[in-house]
Amino acid sequence: MNRKLFALIALAIVVLAMLAACASPTVAPTAAPQPTSAPASSASSVSSSAAPSSSAPSAAKFDRNIKIGIVDTYSGPPAAYGNDALNGFKLAINEINKDGVGGVKIEFVTRDDKYAPDVALSMAKELVLQEKVDVLVGTVNSAAALAISAYAKEQKIPYIVWIAKSENVTGAQGHRYVFMTSENTAMAGKAGAQGLAKKPYVKYWIAGEDYEYGHALADSTWKNLQALKPGVQLVNQTWWKTGEPDLVPYMTQIAAAKPDAVIFATGGGGMTNAIKTAKSTGLLDKVPAWFHTGTDFTVLKPLGADAPEGLLGTMDYHFYYPDTPANKAFVAAFNEAYKTPPGFPAFHAYVTANLIANAYKKAGALDKEKFIDAIEGLVVPSPAGDVEMRKCDHQAVLPMFFGVTKKTSAYDFPISTDIVAVAGKDVMPSCDDITKLRAK
């Protein structure tokens, strides 16, 4: 009897032990590796582990962090654009990394291209070959963007352009591996032409910087303006080298010719100098002038008291327009983080980060080809409304806003007023046009 009782007690102990083992918690999976700073180099280098959006993480689990390489301008006057974009990107990455993407974080490293195409290409190669980045993004300079685009095609690595605007990037020289989240010169030129065509101006002068972006913008604007208003006349055109400090002779020549209006094809730091000189020489008091992005915050605020009223311009984003809850939330978060409102580069970079995160979630793998398949046709919410990455040319579909600068009591610099919004689809080349253009 004692033996039977002992056996029953022993059996009960074994059963209880087995039940306890089944009820014990499982061991948590090993945490994803955290991003580390990039090795120091002769170029400027920044790394961040901040990031993801509130959208649910993908079911797939990646085995390492996603690494983004940024080539942009962080020295000289154009650094205002590069730094603004970097801040917008960091803001988005901080949000995205709260939940992560595929169980990991997005990290990034930067390189300063010093606004030079050859340096930009060198930095892109360093990021691909040494840093082993998954995606390249940047740049301010259009010539640099085209150079990196050709390299990205050769290396079969995705490259997203977020500030440079030459339509050749996603137009004639577009390919599977290049994308744009900035508006391009085809869109800017058509939007500008639509606004100018409603004005009484007939005789025009074109003036700008003698480089890729300048000529692409001027060609697009004039071609579209002629189509919309066949009677317009080109009095003359003037081009100066990029970075030319003394623009007084050019402004004096334009004023003496007395055109009805001037189409300025400038960008980066050159735009600030052109606007400042056009005002100081009195040209803007005599002749209406249109600058694409000339109404942007990042352009006008540094001018301070020299920021002119009455400047015509087009833009795809203003921190005060559209007046929507999404834009107000973005501006509030940016202001809190950086103590300044966002400019258009910050907007583009913010959209870029969310496109990258959502594309990887959709792809479900750290695979470049699957990433490209996933980002084609992808739509993400943004401060200015939903943004689509159009499949046929990899160009973001963005609205355009034509307005005129005016001082208000709300800000210590002029803002764009009398804004006329144009839908992105209405200023973009058709997919058929893109196919024909690339075939040439």
Q: Over its length of 440 residues, how does the chain's per-residue pLDDT go in tens digits? A: 444 444 444 444 444 444 443 443 333 333 333 333 333 333 333 433 333 344 444 467 999 999 999 999 999 989 999 999 999 999 999 999 999 999 999 999 999 999 999 999 999 999 999 999 999 999 999 999 999 999 999 999 999 999 999 999 999 999 999 999 999 999 999 999 999 999 999 999 999 999 999 999 999 999 999 999 999 999 999 999 998 999 999 999 999 999 999 999 998 778 999 999 999 999 999 999 999 999 998 888 888 878 999 999 999 999 999 999 999 999 999 999 999 999 999 999 999 999 999 999 999 999 999 999 999 999 999 999 999 999 999 999 999 999 999 999 999 899 999 999 999 999 999 999 999 999 98
SS3 124: helix
- Chain position carrying tokens 């402004």: 251
Cis peptide leading into residue 110 (ω within 30°)? no
Let me know: does 381 contact 326? Beta carbons within 8 Å: yes
In sequence order, the 6+-apart residues with CB closer than 8 A to the CB of 328 are none
User: How far, in Å, CA of 30 to CA of 88, rounded?
Assistant: 31
The reported pLDDT for the residue numbered 60 is 78
Position 2 scores a pLDDT of 46
Question: What integer pLDDT is reported at residue 340 of this predicted model?
Answer: 95
How much is the CA Rg of the chain, to the nearest whole Å? 26
Which two tokens mark 259?
A: 């055109």
In this prediction, residue 59 carries a pLDDT of 63
Would you give the distance in Å from CA 392 to the centre of its chain?
19
* Phi-psi map region of 140: left, alpha, beta (phi>0 left; psi -120 to 50 alpha): alpha
Torsion angle of C-alpha atoms 145, 96, 354, 49, degrees rounded to 10: 0
Task: Return the structure tokens found at 242.
Answer: 């990029």
The C-alpha atoms of residue 54 and residue 133 are separated, in whole angstroms, by: 24
Q: Which CATH class is domain 186-319+434-439?
A: alpha beta
Question: Which alpha helices (H) appear in 266-409, and where do they start and end?
Answer: 268-280, 283-286, 297-300, 325-338, 344-363, 368-375
Query: Nearest Cα to 359, choosing from 349, 350, 368?
Result: 368
Work out the widest C-alpha separation in the chain, in whole angstroms.
Answer: 122
> Which residue is associated with the tokens 């409304």?
385
Which pLDDT score, from 0 to 100, does residue 302 have?
Answer: 84
Give the separation between CA 365 and CA 36, rounded to whole angstroms. 21
pTM above 0.75, yes or no: yes
